[in-house]
Amino acid sequence: MTESTDYVELHARSAFSFLDGASQPEALIERAIELEMPALALTDRNGLYGAARFHSAAKNCVSKANVQSQIKAHIGAEIAISSFGNKLQPPEWLPHHHPNEPSRITLLCATQAGYQNLCQLITRFKMRESTKAEGAATLRDLEEFSHGLICLTGGDEGPLAAALAHQGQGDARKFVDRLASIFGRGNLFIELQRHQLREEECRNQSLLELASYLHLPVIATNGVRYATEKDREILDVFTSIRHHTTLDQAGRLLSHNSARSLRTAREMSELFRDIPEAIANTRIVSNRLQFKLNDLGYKFPHYPVPENETMDSFLERRVDDGVRKRYGSPDKRHLLDKARAQVRHELTLIKKLGFAGYFLIVWEIIRYCQQNGFLVQGRGSAANSAVCYALEITAVDPVGMELLFERFLSENRGEWPDIDLDLPSGDQREQVIQHLYERYGSLGAAMTANVISYRGRSAAREVGKALGFDEDQLARLSGLVGHWEWRGENDTMARHFEQAGFDVRHPRIAHYLDLCMRMQNLPRHLGQHSGGMVICAGMLNHVVPIERASMPGRTVVQWDKEDCADLGLIKVDLLGLGMMAALKDSLELIPRHYGKQVDLAALPEDPVVYDTLCKADTVGMFQVESRAQMASIPHNAPKHFYDLVVQVAIIRPGPIVGKMMHPYMRRRQKKEEVTYPHPSLEPVLKRTLGVPLFQEQLLRMAMTVASFSGAEAEELRRAVGMRRSMQRMKDLEGRLRSGMTGNGIGPEAQDNIVQAISSFAMYGFPESHAASFALIAYASAYLKVHYLAAFTCGLLNNQPMGFYSPAVLIKDAVRHGLRVRPIDVQRSQWLCSLEEEPDRSRSLRIGMNYAKGLRQTSADAILAARNRDRVFASVDDLASRVPELNRKELVLLARIGALNSLDKVEHRRDALWQVEEAGRPVGPLLHNAQSASNNATAPMPLKRMTTDERLAADYAGTGLTTSPHPMAYQRAVLRSQGILSAEDLSRATSNRFVRIAGCVIARQRPGTAKGFVFLSLEDETGIANVIITPDTFERERIIVTRSRFLKIEGPLQNQDGVIHVKAHRITPLDITNADIRSHDFH
Amino acid sequence: MTDELYASVHVSEFPAQALLRLRPDLKGKPVVVLHGEAIKEVVCSMNQHARRRGASLGMTRLDAEGIAELVLLSRSPQGEEVARTVLFECAATFSPRIEDVSHDTSCAFVLDIAGTERLFGPPMQFAERLRSAMENVGFHSSIAVSTNFEATRLKARAVRGIVVIPHGDEAAALASLPVAELPLDEKRLETLTIWGIRTLGELAALPETELVTRLGQDACKWRDLAKGTAAHTFQPIEPALSLQEFCAFETPVVRMDSLLFIGARMIDCLVTRAAGHALSLASLTVMMKLEGSRIHHGKIRPALPSTNRKFLLKLLQLEIAAHPPPAAVISLTLTAEAGLNSKVQLGLFAPQTPEPSRLDVTLARLKAIVGDDRVGSPELDDTHLPGSFHMTDFTVEGKVAGSKTSRVRMALRRMRPPEHVRVDLHATKPAYFRNREDNFGVIAAYGPWKTAGCWWSTEGWDVEEWDVLAVNRNGLTVACLLAHDRTHNEWRIEAHYD
């Protein structure tokens, strides 16, 4: 009788073999547990992409009976070997589309050294490629990294299968001998697979002969590619996708049958009853595989310090310097002692946990940025740390703001610190990344991966392709898949299919629907994370394989951010923030054009800035410019920095869904009494008026009422937030209650506190993170209020970013008194720039980068010619001195009015008429004759552009206009129809029925708004807000989503300066043909 | 004074008009015509009523269905072809010289009407009579008459009703027309648009030399078109070459000889007519009208287009022999497709191949005996389905058979069709099976070899195969391939091992 534990599957691919396996690693583990398998090996193609998740799944697996199950997760990989020729293909006489791919062997990690060798082996051949590619190892690579690995010879993709089919036993024997010499005879197993195929059985007989002849052990595997038989369908679809064909055309590329699922020990024993040792050997090999992924051998990165220093002492010294610098100023001196005590506490813990190297590495990044003049600021929970503040990693004073360090780091948490740095997006961030590569070596630092998985639209599209639907049908279908954030009740995939005209009862369509559902979340390919970087000086390739990213100069580890965190890899997030770049640009412009220096770290608390914020006049400001922020900020009426911290944190899906926003706002407006769940919590919740908003408050609440330590409180936060283990939650609640009882808190108050903790733990926002963002928000507001020209210039030169398009930003700046000048070949730079007006005020000149279709090389040539010699005398002069400009570019410049300042150009059409001639260069023989003819004064045959034509040309050519707003030209007519402007609304009484009109600049249907749609309508006086109910939206969907200008009729709602019009009637308006784009949020 | 005079008749929204002329029940109703395959159909034409209801070109079926009372019809290319013929025939009663200037979804003709005044009256009267004639055959049209071909064509597209342009007034008559009416590419049209040139009048007003300097020589042509002075070489429609012969019999014919006698004569005529255009016959479609109003079809397609009368007649004979008409024939129609005369290049060292015509005749004979789909060369399909192949046309490729010596393998003799058997199992393995007359006991069974595929369609399969060594009561031993079709739960012997 076969025991269910007699067989261990040692060759299984997951969907992390990217289109070559069809089940998640978790699904494989779950199935293996169902089959009572004691262990399972994951061997994905050329990588360890799924290993981390496989390991975690095995660690956390719970059987159906809700009992923790024990299953060993063996780690390995299928490795392509270029030296053994291509893998087996069908014989020539059979039609097939099999591509040439190198054959693959299966390697399993027996020891930690084996794992490290496998990582290095994969890294070696992946990095040998110049771009992102599969790659293949050589025998020399295998020789170098064979120690600690057990080799199986592979199934039909292995070298023996191909050799036996083509050259017979001779070559196969040579290959086996070679592998035996590399891995050692005890570590090489001849792999046998049985999928009920004649050819395979024929091969097995040859392999048995070979094994017997060479005295090598055989081993049975099932070459698993999916967890259950049904998943074979997904594998077939993946195969079609991988080979860019349809299921109907894929032919022999597809599976023969469904035999590559995980099978029971009984089934496998039955299949191999004639070779029982093949089954027995699986258990023997499994026992030899002692490596577990939590024995990664990862060590904290080392930071080079002077000889007589340790990393701890070196860090202590740097922190001490920082504390003196940060708290040495008179206004902060009162915090000095407190700060010293805090950093002592933090440094003790850092020393105990051995994290000094990490802090020093991040400090080095900060220093690099400072030396190069890059703005940089830490965000996230790091802002809770006084050490981070002292090292200038973060800009928020945790001592002054009484932030809670335990949210960042605690002894029992078992997690590494996580520091996210905001950098100006673009070149500077790239420079920092390249600096890290340079400093830690190409094998010492790499980006974390981003696993691109199938979602509704991509699944619908690719499954549709595989099933043979044509391009139009697919486009129609994917266009119908709902992409607005709000999903109505009927927004199901089946409904989308019906809408697209597919009959869901048709077998092919039914399969389509089913497959689309089943493919959700399966990995598609590996990308790189936007900013996460793992650093492990000099030895990252021992810990996880590294490969090339698609982007030149970048490398990426095979795990994503969560996997890295789960396995304790240190990472730093280098995030590009457009606003940082805009602030940096503004700070450079201010001294040049205003004659002043601004220090972002020392901005004063300015009532004018807060007044502006209170009026929701926040277009362009960081984090507070969105429609929802504008609607709430007057209620909050920020007067101090901390109010802004709350403002940044409160308009988030979490606090809104958690129903925290409205109680806070009511209390803020004194419409509701400030109460506390218990009097002892007053100090904790006082700053947020009794409403718990921040995660740090949860920690403090637990520490105050139940005498929890910081670490226990953090554990409570995570337990409540994750909702993973009911048992753990119960234990913690028990401890919380007993603690409260111990502190004399009555049962009723206990219930209130538990309730308060539970309800917001899911949604609370880290206070430190909000504070970091609020700093940038305040800086942006300060610069906008005091240095509008420089700030707007900074914003325009770092697009795309934020909520509004450049066109809206410019109109807002103009309303605030800034003169904006159009693109001019005589004055514009490539980027937007500031100019001095005759009255010594500053104006903004739009840069040539806004001319859509003008190449930077052409613009550079214009600038070079202008700077080298003189300004251009005429269109002809421009065309002849800048031969890089082609006709199309000349036409573009003429069309947007950029040539209007040239001599003999009266208007845009005049320039257009001239460039058509100038854009057709003649040979030298006729050049003089042509110049003479140009000088002849012929009447201009083209008429001046009308206003609408000018607008259309501006928007088509630059996406914005420096002329008056299109609505301004219609104002007289609109007024005669009783239509109010955005400005008029502030004077209108609430509940009055009004008519407004404007250009749609944003459409939103947030997931938290129950199907309501929010429109922002802009006119020459400002922005009006419109609310559309779900019913009205359904009725007028086409008009709302497609019209560029709308007339809205409905009652006005004015609550404490927050003004909305609730749309009852919506009518499209024909204002201009200009192509004005709205910013729609999906 | 010029002698030229042209009338242009323009039928807009032709797909809709072609359908509506035969549907009086839809008069006064909003109708749109949809074009394209199901699911991705879009509106390509409509009547005025539909336009007033908000329908527009390019609208999808879903959008169109959202408009109340809108009637949705599918486009009919055949119906449009017939309608075009009707229009042409109607116009042909006014002038023998007609040029087709149809464009996009309109149908338009320009008639050379110089010298027709005595027959149909002065231009205005001519235009009214032409329009009325068009109305009578069910089409609303617009008519323009002028002495310039292009001006006539352009004006008829732009107006509703009738316009007669006096000689010399062409430029004024065209001045308000949009420049998009000219044959401009997208780039040129964009240039003119950004210049603010929207009408032909504005274009005509631009100075010629400067215009040519900027837009090239084509600008001259566009300017002439805009001024109504463009020259045009008239290209009258010529009737297309139709290789069709028809013969109605006085009495129904039942004998093949009689049919072939007439058929031979018809082939003669077709070959002669094709040869007159330096063409051969690429295919012949045979249509016989039978007693009882039935129609019998056949098709002959020689390997190469041919003018060999005897050969074509032989193919006709074989076709009729293979597919004899089920009843007496009332009439015979032979329609030929013309093909280019072809010559086969022979290679000096290429192996001798049969003469194409003789090969055709042989293949046709075989097809007559065994059926069309059973003659040709078998080609394996790219699929795991055991034994799957398809037939391709038999061709002689001229390759010399390879002299590779392959290993001696066991041969498999396929049974076509497979023989159904009853199988008794023992522990999932076949133990006994019974064919038509015998019982076999299984001595050894190897398998099952499993294959399953095409799960996404109705043609999916799921088969288990067993290689079986069996013996009957008489001691006869057979080695065969038993297959179990799991979808239909059927067992069959697929093959025997030799």
Tens of pLDDT, residues A116-156: 999 999 999 999 988 888 899 999 999 999 999 999 999 99
When scoring A156, A516, A916, A944 by the number of chain B Cβ atoms within 10 A, the one with the most, hence best to mutate, is: A916
Tell me the nearest-neighbour CA distance from A470 into chain B, angstroms. 10
Residue A69 has pLDDT above 70, yes or no: no
Residues in chain B with CB shorter than 8 Å from the CB of A97 are 382
Helix spans in B244-374 (H): 256-276, 309-322, 356-370
Sheet holding A523-535, edge to edge: A377-379, A419-424, A571-577, A523-535, A445-453, A555-560, A546-548
Q: Is the reported ipTM for this assembly greater than 0.85?
A: no
B428 touching A, CB under 8 A?
no
| CA pair distance A60, A39, nearest whole angstrom | 14
When scoring A199, A235, A239, A256 by the number of chain B Cβ atoms within 10 A, the one with the most, hence best to mutate, is: A256
| CA pair distance A752, A739, nearest whole angstrom | 15
Confidence band, pLDDT 50/70/90 cuts, at residue A658: low
B381 touching A, CB under 8 A?
yes
| CA pair distance A225, A22, nearest whole angstrom | 6
Given a contact cutoff of 8 angstroms between Cβ atoms, the answer to whether B127 and B7 are in contact is yes
Could you give the percent of chain A with pLDDT greater than 70?
A: 91
What is the pLDDT averaged over residues A422-451? 89
Convert B261-280 into a string of H (helix), E (strand) and C (coil).
HHHHHHHHHHHHHHHHCCEE
Measured CA to CA in angstroms, residue A66 lies from A60, A69, A430, A673, A729 at distances of 11, 9, 48, 46, 16
For residue B482, the 8-state DSSP code is E
Lowest mean pLDDT among A759-768, A1035-1044, B409-418: A759-768
- Altogether, the residues listed in chain A come to a count of 1082
Contacting residues for A324 by C-beta, under 8 A, at least 6 apart: none
| CA pair distance B161, B149, nearest whole angstrom | 18
**What are the beta bridge partners of residue B464?**
B450, B484
Residues in chain A with CB shorter than 8 Å from the CB of B210 are 913, 917, 938, 941
Q: Which amino acid does the sequence have at A232?
A: R
Is B215 in contact with A916 (Cβ distance < 8 A)?
A: yes
Given a contact cutoff of 8 angstroms between Cβ atoms, the answer to whether B223 and B207 are in contact is no
For residue A484, the 8-state DSSP code is S
Contacting residues for A517 by C-beta, under 8 A, at least 6 apart: A493
pLDDT tens by residue, A702-736: 888 888 887 788 777 777 665 445 566 677 788 88
Provide, for chain A, the percentages of residues in helix, strand and coil under a 3-state DSSP scheme, each rounded to the nearest 5: 50, 15, 35
**Which of A198, A249, A254 comes nearest B449 by C-beta?**
A198
Spell A589-623 as b/e; 16+ CB within 10 A means b: bbeebeeeebebeebeeeeebbebbbebbbbbbbb
Q: Which amino acid does the sequence have at A143?
A: E
Residue B356 has pLDDT above 80, yes or no: no
Given a contact cutoff of 8 angstroms between Cβ atoms, the answer to whether B431 and B458 are in contact is no
| CA pair distance A503, A506, nearest whole angstrom | 6
pLDDT (0 to 100) of residue A19: 94
More confident residue, A1081 or A392: A392
Confidence band, pLDDT 50/70/90 cuts, at residue B407: low
For residue A937, the 8-state DSSP code is -
Residues in chain B with CB shorter than 8 Å from the CB of A198 are 449
What is the pLDDT averaged over residues B169-174? 93
Given a contact cutoff of 8 angstroms between Cβ atoms, the answer to whether A10 and A283 are in contact is no
Q: E-assigned strands of A316-413?
A: 377-379
Q: What distance lies between CA B147 and its chain's CA centroid?
A: 39
Could you give the percent of chain B with pLDDT greater than 90?
A: 39
Confidence band, pLDDT 50/70/90 cuts, at residue A234: very high
**Which of B194, B213, B450 comes nearest A895 by C-beta?**
B194
pLDDT (0 to 100) of residue A1005: 81
* Structure tokens, A221: 């595997």
The phi and psi torsions of A552 (rounded to 5 degrees) equal -60, 145
Residue A442 has pLDDT above 60, yes or no: yes
- A vs B, Cβ pairs < 8 A, gives 99
Is B382 in contact with A499 (Cβ distance < 8 A)?
A: no
- Altogether, the residues listed in chain B come to a count of 498
Mean pLDDT of chain B: 87
- Note if the bond before B448 is cis, omega within 30 degrees: yes
B456 touching A, CB under 8 A?
yes
| CA pair distance A217, A185, nearest whole angstrom | 9
> Where is mean pLDDT largest: A422-431, A434-443, B194-203?
B194-203
Hunting for tokens 């020891």 — which residue is that?
A111
* Structure tokens, A414: 């078992």
Q: Report strand pairing: B6-11 vs B490-497.
A: unpaired
Is A93 in contact with B213 (Cβ distance < 8 A)?
A: no
| CA pair distance A131, A552, nearest whole angstrom | 7
The phi and psi torsions of A1034 (rounded to 5 degrees) equal -60, -35
Residue A535 has pLDDT above 60, yes or no: yes
Contacting residues for A920 by C-beta, under 8 A, at least 6 apart: A887, B213, B214
Residues in chain B with CB shorter than 8 Å from the CB of A467 are 456
Given a contact cutoff of 8 angstroms between Cβ atoms, the answer to whether B478 and B440 are in contact is yes
Given a contact cutoff of 8 angstroms between Cβ atoms, the answer to whether A535 and A543 are in contact is no
pLDDT (0 to 100) of residue A444: 86
What is the pLDDT averaged over residues A1047-1060? 89
B210 touching A, CB under 8 A?
yes
Residue among B20, B27, B289, B237 at smallest CA distance from B112: B237
What is the pLDDT averaged over residues A669-696? 86
Is A236 in contact with B455 (Cβ distance < 8 A)?
A: yes
CB atoms within 10 A of CB B430: 21
pLDDT (0 to 100) of residue A175: 93
Hunting for tokens 């009652």 — which residue is that?
A1051
Is A942 in contact with B447 (Cβ distance < 8 A)?
A: no
| CA pair distance A358, A311, nearest whole angstrom | 10
Tell me the nearest-neighbour CA distance from A257 into chain B, angstroms. 5
| CA pair distance B243, B38, nearest whole angstrom | 35
| CA pair distance A844, A842, nearest whole angstrom | 7
Spell B52-79 as b/e; 16+ CB within 10 A means b: eeebeeebbbeebeeeeebbbbebeeee
When scoring A257, A508, A912 by the number of chain B Cβ atoms within 10 A, the one with the most, hence best to mutate, is: A257
pLDDT (0 to 100) of residue B319: 86
Mean pLDDT of chain A: 87
For residue B1, the 8-state DSSP code is -
Residues in chain A with CB shorter than 8 Å from the CB of B213 are 916-917, 920
Residue B406 has pLDDT above 70, yes or no: no
Residue B38 has pLDDT above 70, yes or no: no
Is B457 in contact with A913 (Cβ distance < 8 A)?
A: no
| CA pair distance A286, A41, nearest whole angstrom | 9
Residues in chain B with CB shorter than 8 Å from the CB of A507 are 456-458
The phi and psi torsions of A642 (rounded to 5 degrees) equal -65, -30
Lowest mean pLDDT among A595-604, B18-27, B69-78, B402-411: B402-411
Residues in chain B with CB shorter than 8 Å from the CB of A499 are 62
What is the pLDDT averaged over residues B58-77? 84
Measured CA to CA in angstroms, residue A509 lies from A249, A555, B274, B275 at distances of 18, 41, 50, 53
Residues in chain A with CB shorter than 8 Å from the CB of B451 are 256-257
Residue B39 has pLDDT above 90, yes or no: no
Measured CA to CA in angstroms, residue A575 lies from A381, A710, A799, A995 at distances of 15, 29, 16, 44
Can you count the helices (H) and strands (E) in chain A?
45, 24
